[in-house]
Chains A and B, each alone.
Chain A
Amino acid sequence: MPGLATAVFYLALFGSSFNPANLIPSNASQYASSVISNIFGGAPTYITYLTAGVICIILVFNMAFGGIDLVLDRQLGYLSTLLTAPIPRAAIYLSGVAQNLVKVLLLAVLTFVVAFFIPNGLRLPASFGVIDFLGVFGAFILLGLGLSFIFTALALSVRSIDSLVAIVNFLTLPIMFMSNAFFPSSSFPTWLMGIANVNPVTKANEAARLLIVNGTLTSAQLSTYGLDMAYLGGFATALGILGYLAASRALRPE
Chain B
Amino acid sequence: MSEIIEAKGLTKIYGGKLMAVDHISFSVEEGEIFGFLGPNGAGKTTTIKMLNTLASITEGTAEVAGHDVAKNPGTVRKSIGVVPQELTADDELSGAENMVLMGRLHQLSASAAKTKVDSLLSLVDLQEASRRKVKTYSGGMRRRLQLVMGLLHEPKVLFLDEPTLGLDVQTRSKMWHYIKGLNKERGLTVFMTTHYLDEADSLCDRIAIIDHGTIKVSGTPAELKTAHGGDIIALTISEGVGDLTDFLSGIEGVSQVTKDDNVYRIKLPNTEKALPSIIGGVLQQEAVIEGITFSKPSLDQVFLDVVGHSMRDEEASSSDSGWENIKMERAR
A and B assemble together: yes
Selected from B52, B84, B107, B329, the residue in CB contact (under 8 A) with A159 is B329
In the complex, A77→B84 CA distance in Å? Answer: 8
CB distance from B95 to the nearest CB of A (A): 15
- List the B residue with the shortest CB-CB distance to A91: B105
- Please, which residues of chain A bring their CB within 8 A of the CB of B102? 81, 85
CB distance from A248 to the nearest CB of B (A): 14
B107 pairs with A86, CB closer than 8 A:
yes
Selected from B54, B55, B78, B85, the residue in CB contact (under 8 A) with A86 is B78
Q: Does B172 contact A (CB under 8 A)?
A: no
Within 8 A of B (CB), among A62-107: 76-78, 80-87
In the complex, A87→B107 CA distance in Å? Answer: 8
Q: Is the interface of A mostly helix, strand, loop or mixed?
A: loop
CB distance from A112 to the nearest CB of B (A): 29
- Please, which residues of chain B bring their CB within 8 A of the CB of A84? 52-54, 77, 80, 82
B107 pairs with A76, CB closer than 8 A:
no
Contact with A along B38-52 (1 / 0, CB 8 A): 000000000001001
- Please, which residues of chain A bring their CB within 8 A of the CB of B84? 77, 80-81
In the complex, A99→B1 CA distance in Å? Answer: 47
- Please, which residues of chain A bring their CB within 8 A of the CB of B332? 254
A76 pairs with B86, CB closer than 8 A:
yes
- Please, which residues of chain A bring their CB within 8 A of the CB of B73? 253
B106 pairs with A86, CB closer than 8 A:
yes
Q: Does B56 contact A (CB under 8 A)?
A: yes
Contact with A along B89-113 (1 / 0, CB 8 A): 0100000000000100111000000
| Interface residues of B, count at CB 8 A | 25
Selected from A77, A81, A254, the residue in CB contact (under 8 A) with B55 is A254
- Please, which residues of chain B bring their CB within 8 A of the CB of A85? 77, 102, 105-106
Q: Is the interface of B mostly helix, strand, loop or mixed?
A: loop
In the complex, A82→B107 CA distance in Å? Answer: 12
In the complex, A84→B153 CA distance in Å? Answer: 13
Q: Does B9 contact A (CB under 8 A)?
A: no
Q: Does B2 contact A (CB under 8 A)?
A: no
Selected from A77, A253, A254, the residue in CB contact (under 8 A) with B86 is A77
- Please, which residues of chain A bring their CB within 8 A of the CB of B105? 81-82, 85, 87
Within 8 A of A (CB), among B18-66: 49, 52-56
Q: Does B219 contact A (CB under 8 A)?
A: no
B53 pairs with A253, CB closer than 8 A:
yes
Q: Does B74 contact A (CB under 8 A)?
A: yes
In the complex, A66→B250 CA distance in Å? Answer: 74
B88 pairs with A252, CB closer than 8 A:
no
> Provided the pairs A86-B77, A86-B78 are in contact, do residues A253 and B88 lie with their beta carbons within 8 angstroms?
no
B88 pairs with A77, CB closer than 8 A:
yes
A253 pairs with B54, CB closer than 8 A:
yes
Interface centre among B87, B90, B105, B332 (most CB of A within 10 A): B105
In the complex, A83→B53 CA distance in Å? Answer: 8
Interface centre among A77, A85, A87, A252 (most CB of B within 10 A): A85
Selected from A78, A80, A87, A159, the residue in CB contact (under 8 A) with B54 is A80
- List the A residue with the shortest CB-CB distance to B81: A84
- Please, which residues of chain B bring their CB within 8 A of the CB of A80? 54, 82, 84, 86, 88
- List the A residue with the shortest CB-CB distance to B149: A81
In the complex, A76→B91 CA distance in Å? Answer: 12
> Provided the pairs A84-B82, A254-B49, A254-B54 are in contact, do residues A76 and B77 lie with their beta carbons within 8 angstroms?
no
Interface centre among A77, A81, A82 (most CB of B within 10 A): A81
Known: A77-B87, A254-B49. 11 other contacts (CB 8 A): A76-B86, A76-B87, A78-B90, A80-B84, A81-B82, A83-B53, A83-B54, A159-B329, A252-B56, A253-B54, A254-B55
8 A-B pairs with C-beta separation under 8 A: A77-B85, A77-B87, A80-B88, A84-B53, A84-B54, A85-B77, A86-B74, A254-B55
Smallest CB-CB A-B distances: 9 pairs? A77-B86, A85-B105, A86-B77, A253-B56, A84-B82, A77-B88, A86-B78, A254-B55, A78-B88
Residues of B within 8 A of A (CB): 49, 52-56, 73-75, 77-78, 80, 82, 84-88, 90, 102, 105-107, 329, 332
